Chains A and B, each alone.
Chain A
C-alpha cells in the first residue's frame, strides 16, 4: 500500500475526486439540505479551534486516509508558515490548537510548536496514530506530551486485531496497544489533566455506532482484555475523500454509501458541524474551513483571507463556509467532527 499520488492514480488529482462526488446521482444536494434546515449559507459561529495540518508525511498508510498521507509524501509545513501560525494563534487568543497531519509528530518543529502554544496558555491537541510513539527517536514523546498537558487524540478503529490491521496496516493493532500502555504509564487516561481520547472510524462502508453507548462498552473491553484506560471515545464517519473514496469505488460501495449519508442527514448535526468553530491551515499556509475541504483543495471563499499570512480573525468569522456533497459525511446520523459526534 502506498499513497494515491505514489501510484499515480487519477484519484490523486483532487479535481477528479470532486467531479466524481458532484456527479453522483444522489437524491439531495448538500446546499438544498442546508436550506431546508435554515442553515444556508452556512456561517461560522466563532473560531475556537485553530487546526494546523503540518504535512502529509506519515509512518503509516491507512486504507481510509482522507489525507492520502504516507511515508512517500513530502509535503511539510515550512518554518515560515509555522511562525505565521504561532503568531496568528498568539495574537487572536484562539484557545485551542489542534495539530494534525500525516503524523504531526514527524514534523521537525512539532515539539517547538507544542511548547510555544502551551506556554502561551493554549490547550494543545495532538492527533496521534499511536505507532509513532514506538518509532526510534520518538519514544520519549509520552513524557514530552504529558509535560505540556497535551490532549492526545489517538486513532484506534477497533479493539479487534483483524479490523484494526485491515484499516491501518499489518501489526498496527499490537503496536497501538503498546503505545496506549506507555501513555497510561505516564498518566494518560488516569490523571485527570492528561486526557487520552480514542478516535474510531468504521472499518468499512457503514456509519459509526452511537458514541455514548460504544464508549462504555469500549472502556470495559479495553480494561478487561488489555488493562488499558482512556477518557473518551470519539466516533468519526469516514469521509468519501482520497483513499476512502478509492476503497468505496473499488469495492462497489460508493453509490450506496453516499446514499446512506444523504438519507441519514440530521439537521441538528448540520447546525453543529465543526467548520463553524474551526479554522484549518494547510501545510503551505492556505486557509480552509476544515481538514476535509483542505484535502479536496477547496480553500475558504475568495472574499476571505486566503493564507495564514493574511490572517484576520474578524474577516474569517464573517466568511461563508464552502460546502459540497462530501459534507453529508459530517451531518449523517449523530454527526461527525474531529471531536466525534456532534448531535444526540
Chain B
C-alpha cells in the first residue's frame, strides 16, 4: 500500500458517490452552498477551509484550499497567518488539557 494521498486522486472525489448517489448529491449540494458568498466572503471561507485542512491534516484539502485561497485573492502571508491560527488552536487545545492534568495531580497528591 504505497499509494496513499496521490494528487491525481483528488479529481476522482466524485467516484465516492457511485455506491450511494443520493447521499453524494446531498453532500455536494450542501458543500457548494456552504462555500457560496454569504455573511462571509468566498475568500474568507476558503481561508477558514485552508486552516481547518491543516488541523484535520488532509493533503487533498490542503492542495484544494491552497489553490482556492490563491484564486479567491489571498496571498501567502494571509494564508500562513490562517495556518498559524489553526496551529495555535490545536496547540492551545493540547495545552489547556494541562488543567485536567493539574486537577488530577491535586486529587492524587498531598
Give A residues with C-beta under 8 Å from B: 158-160, 162-163, 202-204, 206-210, 213-214, 217
Kindly report which residue of chain A lies nearest to residue B77, judged by CB atoms: A160
Q: Which of A160, A204, A207, A209 contacts B43 (CB 8 A)?
A: A209
A243–B34 Cα distance when bound, in Å, is: 38
Q: B71 on the interface (CB 8 Å rule)? A: yes
B73 adjacent to A217 (CB under 8 Å): yes
Q: Which of A159, A160, A202, A213 contacts B37 (CB 8 A)?
A: A213
Give B residues with C-beta under 8 Å from A: 37, 41-43, 67, 70-73, 75-78
Q: How far is the CB of A262 from chain B (nearest CB, A)?
A: 14
The 6 lowest CB-CB distance pairs between A and B, nearest first, are A209-B73, A160-B75, A214-B73, A206-B70, A209-B72, A206-B71
Kindly report which residue of chain A lies nearest to residue B67, judged by CB atoms: A206
B72 adjacent to A210 (CB under 8 Å): yes
Q: Which B residues are in CB contact (< 8 Å) with A162?
A: 76-77
Q: Which A residues are in CB contact (< 8 Å) with B70?
A: 202, 204, 206
A214–B78 Cα distance when bound, in Å, is: 14
A206–B42 Cα distance when bound, in Å, is: 16
Given contacts A162-B76, A163-B76, contact A207 B71 (CB under 8 A): yes
12 new A-B contacts, CB < 8 A, other than A160-B78, A213-B41, are: A158-B75, A159-B75, A160-B76, A160-B77, A206-B71, A207-B71, A208-B71, A209-B71, A210-B42, A213-B37, A213-B42, A213-B43
Kindly report which residue of chain A lies nearest to residue B41, judged by CB atoms: A213
A-B contact list, 7 entries, CB within 8 Å? A162-B76, A206-B70, A206-B71, A207-B71, A208-B73, A213-B37, A217-B73
Interface SS of B by simple majority: helix
Q: How far is the CB of B8 from chain A (nearest CB, A)?
A: 11
Q: Which A residues are in CB contact (< 8 Å) with B73?
A: 208-210, 213-214, 217
Q: How far is the CB of B99 from chain A (nearest CB, A)?
A: 38
Q: Which A residues are in CB contact (< 8 Å) with B77?
A: 160, 162
Q: How far is the CB of B38 from chain A (nearest CB, A)?
A: 12
Q: Which A residues are in CB contact (< 8 Å) with B76?
A: 160, 162-163
Q: Which A residues are in CB contact (< 8 Å) with B43?
A: 209, 213-214, 217
Q: How far is the CB of A110 from chain B (nearest CB, A)?
A: 32
Q: Which A residues are in CB contact (< 8 Å) with B37?
A: 213
Q: How far is the CB of A210 from chain B (nearest CB, A)?
A: 7
A217–B47 Cα distance when bound, in Å, is: 14
Q: Which B residues are in CB contact (< 8 Å) with A160?
A: 75-78
Q: Which B residues are in CB contact (< 8 Å) with A217?
A: 41, 43, 73
Kindly report which residue of chain A lies nearest to residue B73, judged by CB atoms: A209
Q: Which B residues are in CB contact (< 8 Å) with A204?
A: 70
Q: Which A residues are in CB contact (< 8 Å) with B78?
A: 160
Q: How far is the CB of A222 from chain B (nearest CB, A)?
A: 13
Q: Which A residues are in CB contact (< 8 Å) with B67?
A: 206
Q: Which B residues are in CB contact (< 8 Å) with A207?
A: 71
A163–B76 Cα distance when bound, in Å, is: 8
Q: Which B residues are in CB contact (< 8 Å) with A213?
A: 37, 41-43, 72-73
Given contacts A209-B43, A213-B37, A213-B41, contact A163 B75 (CB under 8 A): yes
Q: How far is the CB of B45 from chain A (nearest CB, A)?
A: 11
